Structure 1
Amino acid sequence: MEKSVRFVFILFVCAFPTDIVSRRHGHRSKSHGNKIVGGYDTTIQDFPYQAYLLLQKGSDYYQCGGSIISDSYILTAAHCLSGVSKVFARVGSTDADSGGTQYKSTHFKAHPKYNPGTLDYDVGLIHFSNKINLDGENAKAIQLAESGSSVPPDTTLTVSGWGATSENGDVSPTLMAVQVPTVSTEECNNSYGDITVRMICAGVPEGGKDSCQGDSGGPAVGDGPIQLGIVSFGVGCARPGYPGVYSNVSALRNWIRKNSGIYHQQMVAVGGIPDTIWIVVSMEKLFCIIFILWSCAFLGDVESSVPDNSTKRFHDDHYIVGGYNVTIQEFPYQAYLLLKKGRQYYQCGGSIISNRYILTAAHCLTRVSKVIARVGSSEADSGGTQYTSREFKIHPRYDRSTFDYDVGYVRFENIFIDEVNTAIVTLAESGTRVRPGTYLTVTGWGATEEDGDTSENLMAVQVPVVSNARCRQSYDTITSRMICAGDEEGGRDSCGGDSGGPGVTDDRVQRAIVSNGIGCARPGIPGVYTNVASVREWIRRNTGV
């Protein structure tokens, strides 16, 4: 669980020409993410096939759209799935962040001919072992265009999603829709020059109506409703003379059929068979069994970049380095934080200090718009109770370059404390010292190795405190608001995704907050923690704790 000292989020736009972005979270054209431009508010009852996707890629989370095509499959764009390790799908809700039902999958596939440079063959499938509950009102499968069918110019497409309402804007918390007419491939090539038969273009010449960042992978439907397109890319959002580009479902229909078994909406997927084989049974074609080999290689995990060697990289995908598995009952004060920053989500740790407050690191809260806290669970992604807050505060003297005064808190209406799965941690009193050689027990869901993935289960590690004088041999910015801890030989440490989490001593008193460091568990380089005793009065004045 690396400590992040500075979070530099990977902007997927960088991989493509400046203005071209896929409509993944944060992009569009050949990049990803926002709400519908020039559209209108709608409800999931109007678009029950719409799915909201939150995708984990290394230490970042981003959003895309998708469409339910059966009780086992969601259709989306290939570019949404590149390098992804896990997908969370919310269906049956108008709201992006709440309601409906959430499903998790690690089984997905992009078209083998997908070209990330041109976004040709931009289609992918997500398979869910736990069947999606299709109630016919809030969740329903969409009919797909048949292979070989055409989409003439001036066909009206209705596009829905939670993307941006303006270019480079924020994503929408509620479902939006827009109607745009298709344009001919010839006209579209005047703007792009590389439009293929696997693409459809749609938009108004004067601009002002379009899909945008965060809409990627979402459905574009015609009358029926029948899904004709998948949100793919475009230049900016709703610019005059630049229609949006969509994957042509008809041209990709055979691949979808072969890999999902969706011939008609009566198809039923059975299994959720792990590892390499999915079995799909067609109700029309008696027990015709299609074995699909899962051969699509995933791109390597992507982590947030570090601006220089004086900071630890932030990861959302590993456990404690050199540590061990634990349960929430052993550390009931531990909180898992998912933080929204612009169009991305990332994780941190925190500690429950009252039924209203969670303590964390200031760097976790910088420029954050929303915090989702899970408490009472050993697992990062499920169980316990989830709370949402938009009220948080960082120390006014926090220095982003040195990580001095790296402390903050999040306020909630009421956290239920049961003293078994949730409990309040005791904080070190002002002026108390932590002597060198004292062991800190650090917990969290961060990485188990430098540049590794975050852990799904709670982990712990014990590290000895070293003197600040010794720590200054590794860092030149150590102050009295910091504690350093780690083995001289390395091998044990907190890591990426652990930031903001607690460091406690044997008396179960929290004396430290995971802050920063160079790498994870490197020999001779201890981790750096905020000294709770030195910031205790600020915590007391602002929280009453």
Structure 2
Amino acid sequence: MRSFIILLAVISVALAASVPAAAQQRIVGGRPTTVNKYPFVANIQYDAFGIAFSATCGGSLISATAVLTAAHCVAFPASYYSVRLGSSDPFSGGTVYNVTSYVVHPDWTGLDEGDVAILKLARPVIFSDVIRAARIPASVYPIADGTELTAIGWGDLYAGGPAPEILQEVQLNKVNTSVCAERYTALNATLTSPLPTVTDRMICAGTDAGGKGTCNRDSGGPIILNDDIVVGVVSWGYCPDTSYPGVHSLVSAYSEWIVENASSMHSTITFFTVISVALAASVPAPAQQRIVGGRPTTVNKYPFAANIQINEFGIVWDSACGGSLISATAVLSAAHCFGFPARSYGVRLGSSSAISGGTVYNVASYVRHPEYTNLVENDVAILKLARPAIFSDVVKAASIPARVYPIADGTELTAIGWGILNSGSTKPEILQEVQFNKVNTAVCAERYRALHANTTLENRKVTDRMLCAGGDGGKATCSGDSGGPILINGDIVVGIVSWGHPNCFEPMYPSVNSLVSAFSDWIVENAS
């Protein structure tokens, strides 16, 4: 018995020792929760010599065979680790999966940048109400300072205290990265063993009052936005004083690496969830665009309509954005629709259905406007198709205006797309159209200025390189229509759907679109 106890102590402490004490991560000031609410949560355990020890780290299931965690959580052979899924209890219930291999980010040097790893499970998980894959954001995914985030895990309840038997959650707020860096710079001046430097590839989260945070045994666990989007991986912090924010790896900074390395571990069903939702997540909720108050239409009327989809590893997912065919090999869309490699995308042309018919073309490359600034301005991109489209009655190129193309206030415009029809609905299978009117740019700008002054919404400014339309309530563009065309006279693309009010039905707040004439020279040059 003595040798068994000593061996347990030596191995489990050795693992904990791979993370300096000041940087170990645990949930502090939280409350109990369940895997029913967070079915992607993973409890990573040390399982040497067939003996399962208590939880050592957290993680997030991102496909049927891949778990996202922190690089500092794994240092021993893969056979030493196992992952419990589907249980709120770290010691029992759910299913324990062996780990066959893992990969650590190449930039990982020890509690610094690159604190990200992916574990490969020995067999695919069986999905259920308590086991599902989380979403991850694409490479462009801004999060405003002060945004509420959630940390979950089985870490100690307070510094030096016991670990809970039930999963815990705690609400925190995003802390400005520069402010966070300054706090740790000042703290490091007082420590004999300084902590790492805060960088732009990290996300800080905490509370002004302290008393809440992440620490030991929560390392590798998720920092969550909107319940299931993993925006951070718990990395390090200063647990003796929770007034210092926890510091976490910023997932969007590593999303392409995560997708690439999880691909060799994917199963068809789940990797779909990771990739397709990751693209959707790349558009912050207030900016997502959908057709509201419209009616069904066809590509016979709009033969340039392009349905942009995720098409990784030959598996086509449902529509992610809209676009406009402007030449045999070029599709015009929104910059915020893209963050993954070009091979991840496909374009369906010649079909009114988002899920069948027509022809799907692979994307060889794409270019975003060089001044694109995260859904604020210059939200324009061009996709180059791998082969020329074959023109027909249902596949034709749209026209775009020259750089001087005045549009009078009140002019009737048309938006088309496959976005959801109303709040909480599913996307339609058939192309939709809606008519609304151009709104004066200064009036539109003033409405959003007043809105942002009285809410906590991200402050996006309306500029002269944008086109406002709608705002009378009941008719609008929102999620799933991003990148699609705003039309005049049936086939002249004068706008590209970009952003708008979080509630697309809200009267007085028009849809805001990129003004194509402001970018026509750039579009022609890059589409040639």
TM-score normalised to structure 1 length: 0.44
More helix by share: 2
Kindly indicate whether structure 1 or structure 2 has the higher relative contact order, using CA contacts under 8 Å at least 6 residues apart.
1
TM-score (norm 2): 0.46
